[in-house]
Chain A
Amino acid sequence: MMQTVCIIDDDEAVRESTGLLLSLCGYSVEGYETIRQFLGAHPQRDNAVILLDQHLPQQTGLEFLESDEGRPFLPRAVLMTGQGNSKLRERALQDGVAGYLEKPIDVDRLMEIFGHLASQASPAQIRT
């Protein structure tokens, strides 16, 4: 079955371009502007992996992942940020995100992370 990737980013161009690239790489892609929209579409917390922007208007990506609502998504979430710093990275990895990437994201690294997630071959986090 084709792996689904949910992109949550309020920047339309980032969402569209990342989605295009991932679909060309064989993923089924869904784009969401906000966390609310995403939660509305995935109430049962299925197996989709999520690619989440840190800088979102109402709540940061990491805040969501640390909340009760977001915690179940942590092992399948890749956090991406355009204003990265070592503190954020440390915190995200400590929380147990599947991956942490700085924008512009390295597509090969992303594929690697998704590959690991899909196969569940290695439960270890991918650190970049």
Chain B
Amino acid sequence: MPTGAAPPSKLLATEEMLRSVLDTVPDGMVVIDDRGLIHSFSATAAKQFGYTEAEVMGCNVSILMPEPHRTQHDAYIERYLQTGERRIIGVGRVVVGRRKDGSTFPIELAVGEVKIGGKTYFTGFIRDLTERQDRERRLQELQSELIHVSRLTELGQMVAALAHEVNQPLAAIKNFLAAATRLIASGHVDEARQLQQKAGEQAERAVEIIRGLRQLVRKGDRAIETVPVAKLLDEAVGLALVGASRHSAAVSLAVDPAVTDTVVDKVQIQQVIINLIRNAIEAMADCPVRRLAITAKPDRDGMIAITVADTGPGLPEAVRSRLFQPFVTTKEHGMGVGLSICRSIVESHGGAMLAESTPGAGTTFRFTIPGPGHAGHGAETSQPQSCPAAS
């Protein structure tokens, strides 16, 4: 800072410079006197609070805060002046500001004290935290999104590898059966029968591959944790709608107040939900009414029942009975592996999954996950799997 006498023009320039600096710093600045009256209100502060400098000059600073501080602020100053006890001066803390339109926003407030000509002034530096909180929240969202994406990619790779593995027996089955057909046509029925037998063995091989995949899902490293059900569902719905068009479906989420936490591998269970939601949205694509209702309710034995209900075309009976078996799909380009994996995930958490469907009225998937009081949650289940080709 310049010391000693300076020419008036230079003083003016310094003041102007100071002013422009204060106007461009990201923090707003408000100067008040010992009665709480505003003496200076920077351009940034004006932007933050929605008041012009002229509007607030000489007003009590309490207009910038919500209750109870609004009525208490004069007393805060009074107490400080009498006791010297610092509650905010030189400390800085996160408080709530109040804009001209009455809305509130989080701010980080740092207060300094200056004495000029025997009078006490307080300077308040205000940083709007709205943006930062948004950014942090966005960051968290992105992180959880990333975890899902990487898991889904893993799943995608697994499915690609699986597709190749399963393709081999399928190719063999196709050839054996084509050869058998030719043999039958030329009257060689016994030889044809042998080839059918061989085709059956290859089908068995395909089943083994799928069984292996299910075990992979079952045994994979799982991070069992206690998660609030509402949060789990909320995030899953958000993630499921990533990339979906805004008008793809009207989604509602209702969590029974009696439902609190669940003890699961959060990412796995969220994947089940994401899968069901995406299936539902896809199924409703051509329907005039597209509603998706997700609910969580208490179930027997300390379990929690989650339902995902759509207003889609429903499932044909032939599909419904084999729904959770691998390679059953109603999708034009589907692999039919998703629901099979979903059920494996749910079963590995000690839950069960089923589908109810009324043709023309929609489909409801219902599955259970362990609540906080459920004994033996996350226990590995080893019941035999039903396999389409083996039965």
Q: Say whether A17 contacts B164, CB under 8 Å.
A: no
Specify which chain B residues have a CB less than 8 angstroms from the CB of A14 in the assembled complex. 168, 171-172, 175
A39: Cβ under 8 A from any B Cβ: no
Q: How far is the CA of A61 from the CA of B179 in the complex (A)?
A: 25
How far is A103 from B174 in the complex, measured between Cα atoms in Å? 10
Question: Which residues of chain B from 177 to 204 have a CB within 8 Å of any chain A CB?
Answer: 178-179, 182-183, 195, 198, 201-202
- Whether A18 lies near B167 (C-beta < 8 A) is no
Confirm or deny: A83 has a beta carbon within 8 angstroms of a beta carbon on chain B. Answer: yes
Interface of B is mostly: helix
Residues on B with C-beta less than 8 A from A20 are 175-176, 179, 195
State the CA gap A11–B175 with chains docked (Å): 13
Q: Is the Cβ of A83 less than 8 Å from the Cβ of B164? A: yes
Q: For residue B182, which residues in chain A have a CB less than 8 angstroms away from its CB?
A: 21, 24-25
Pairwise interchain contact A104-B170, C-beta atoms closer than 8 A: yes
Residues A103 and B171 in contact, CB atoms below 8 Å apart: yes
Whether a CB of chain A sits under 8 angstroms from the CB of B163 is yes
Query: Is B223's beta carbon under 8 Å from chain A?
Result: no
Instruction: Determine if B160 is an interface residue (Cβ-Cβ < 8 Å).
Output: yes
**A17–B198 contact, CB under 8 A?**
yes
Inter-chain CA distance A41–B183, complex, in Å, is 30
Cβ of A53 to closest chain B Cβ, rounded Å? 9
| A2-26 contact mask (Cβ, 8 Å, vs B): 1 or 0 | 0000000001011011101100110
Contact with B along A104-122 (1 / 0, CB 8 A): 1101000000000000000
Does the CB pair B178–A103 fall under 8 Å?
no
B169 within 8 A of A: yes
A55 at the interface (CB under 8 A from B): yes
| A82 interface residue (CB < 8 Å to B) | yes
Determine if A24 and B168 form an interchain contact, defined as CB atoms under 8 angstroms apart. no
The residues of B that contact A104 with a CB separation of less than 8 Å are 167, 170-171, 173-175
Residues of B within 8 A of A82 (CB): 163-164, 167-168, 171
Interface contact B172-A83, CB-CB below 8 Å: no
The answer for the CA separation of A26 and B161 in the assembled complex, in Å, is 34
CB-based nearest A residue for B176: A17
| Of the residues A24, A83, A103, contact of B179 by C-beta under 8 Å | A24
Contacts of A18 in B (CB 8 A): 171-172, 175
Contact with B along A24-57 (1 / 0, CB 8 A): 1100000000000000000000000000000100
Mask: chain A, 45-74; 1 = CB below 8 Å from B; 0 = not: 000000000010000000000000000000
Per-residue CB proximity of B290-319 to A under 8 Å, as 1/0? 000000000000000000000000000000
Partner of A13, one of B160, B172, B179, B183: B172
CA of A77 to CA of B256 in the docked complex: distance in angstroms?
A: 64
CB distance from B197 to the nearest CB of A (A): 12
Residues of B within 8 A of A (CB): 160, 163-164, 167-176, 178-179, 182-183, 195, 198, 201-202, 205
Given A13-B201, A21-B182, 19 additional A-B pairs, CB 8 A: A11-B168, A13-B172, A14-B168, A14-B171, A17-B171, A17-B172, A17-B173, A17-B179, A17-B198, A20-B175, A20-B176, A21-B175, A21-B179, A103-B168, A103-B170, A103-B171, A105-B171, A105-B174, A105-B175
On A, residues with C-beta under 8 Å from B are 11, 13-14, 16-18, 20-21, 24-25, 55, 82-83, 103-105, 107
